[in-house]
Structure 1
Amino acid sequence: MTHAQVLVLVGSLRADSVNKQIAETAVSLAPEGSTAEVYNGLAEVPFYNEDIDIPGKVPAAALELRAAAEQATAFLLVTPEYNGTIPAVLKNAIDWLSRPYGAGAVSSKPVAVISASPSGNGAKWAHDDARKAVGVAGGSVLEDVTLTIGGTVDKFGSAHPRENAEVSAAIAAVVAELVKASAELATV
């Protein structure tokens, strides 16, 4: 069996973001025989622009993102909701990974999305928009694998999400499904 490598992209750049903590929890819960890693360079990736997406002009930060994505066998997107949709930093990462068109680093690889917010909505709109955007970009979105976490302030307080057994179990299930889908793809 091929070693599953899950690349985790977080839509929040804030150091103490609950979404970043959820991503850390996902990394710590990766099943045996797999690895998960949070990509920490999204803040440096410039906005996608076809004028700079040509050999010799692609910014180093975009090349690094693509290289990390090429090594990944699956993707986990963890997103808050900004003004009713996904944050620009996450959408920008999807845009860079969708190119070259039809052969981007996310193409045909399993993808799942976790969203979280203080509202009871659980960033559901961002969740749906992230799934749509990465699917259009060529990712193989796991249809039955969804997790939205609402009421994060009340649910976690000052605690790390990993300290909530119910949430940790749900995150572990998402990562396990990604690893399973990655393994199934490797045998095709």
Structure 2
Amino acid sequence: MSVEILTLVGSLRAASHNHQLAEAAAKLAPADITLTVADGLGDLPFYNEDIDTAAALPATAARLRTAAERAHAFLYISPEYNGTMPAVIKNAIDWLSRPWQAGAMTGKPVAVIGTALGQYGGVWAHDDTRKAAGIAGGAVIDDVKLDIPGSATRFAETHPYSDAEVAEQLTKVLTTLAAKATTA
């Protein structure tokens, strides 16, 4: 069985180091893992219950939910903005948390990783993302962490895929997430 992992990246900038981390994850994924990066998160309107109806559901929200329903697990890759997660990640979690206790993420394994400019690699953002995803119904794997500090210098001339330490840790994240998905 191939494990489907939906990846949500918190940076909207195409060349961001977190997008590069998602690219690395896709390249490093073992043969039994299919990793899909959710697109269009920047076009997703802020969650509003008034438009979360069959008649008014935005197409971007419907596509995200469909991708999430197909997924066996979730990988959030997040930078840190002003000490917390980017709004685009929180908004995606809000859309995936509905309907309450029956959202597309409910009961499925969730891992949170990322890289940031600062010396702690986005730890606060990752902790906040784990908290929000767990409250939204995801089965957060708290002991799976990859917080990469100093992204601007560490990846100035090296793609995360080519960084041996990152590649090894990222592979462990993916295999652990896949294992949790097959036992969930």
**Under a length normalisation based on structure 1, what TM-score does the superposition of the two structures give?**
0.95
- Contact 2:41 2:92 (C-alpha < 8 Å) held by counterparts: yes
Deviation of 1:45 after TM superposition, in Å, equals 0.8
- Residues 94-120 of structure 1 show CA distances to partners (whole Å, capped at 9, x for unaligned) of 000000000000000000000211111
What SS class does the counterpart of residue 145 from structure 1 fall into?
A: strand
Aligned to 1:57: 56
- Encode CA deviations 1:115-156: one digit per residue, 9 max, x unaligned: 211111101100100000000000000121111000112222
In the TM superposition, residue 37 of structure 1 has moved relative to its aligned partner by 1.1
**CA offset at residue 15 of structure 1?**
1.1
| Whole-angstrom distance in 2 between the partners of 1:118 and 1:34 | 29
Distance of 2:63 and 2:31 partners within structure 1:
27
Tell me whether 1:4 sits opposite 2:10 in the alignment. no
Structure 1 position 3, deviation (Å) = 2.1
Cα distance in 1 between the residues matched to 2:82 and 2:142:
25
Q: Which runs of 5+ in 1 are unaligned?
A: none
1:134 maps onto 2:136 in alignment: no
SS of the residue 1:120 aligns to? coil
| Partner residue in 2 for 1:67 | 66
Distance of 1:55 and 1:119 partners within structure 2 = 43
**Superposition RMSD in Å:** 0.8
Looking at structure 1, the residues matched to 151 and 2 of structure 2 have their Cα atoms a distance apart, in angstroms, of: 33
Aligned residue in 1 for 2:88: 89
Report how many aligned residue pairs link the two structures: 184
The residue type paired with residue 174 of structure 2 is V
Q: Secondary structure at the match of 2:117?
A: coil
SS in 2 for 1:111: strand
Structure-2 residue corresponding to 1:17: 16
TM-score normalised by the chain length of structure 2: 0.97
Mapping of residues 104-183 of structure 1, within 5 Å: 104-183=103-182
Identity of aligned residues (%): 52
Gaps of 5+ in 2: none
Paired residue type of 2:74 = F
For 2:8 and 2:38, the matched residues in 1 are separated by 6
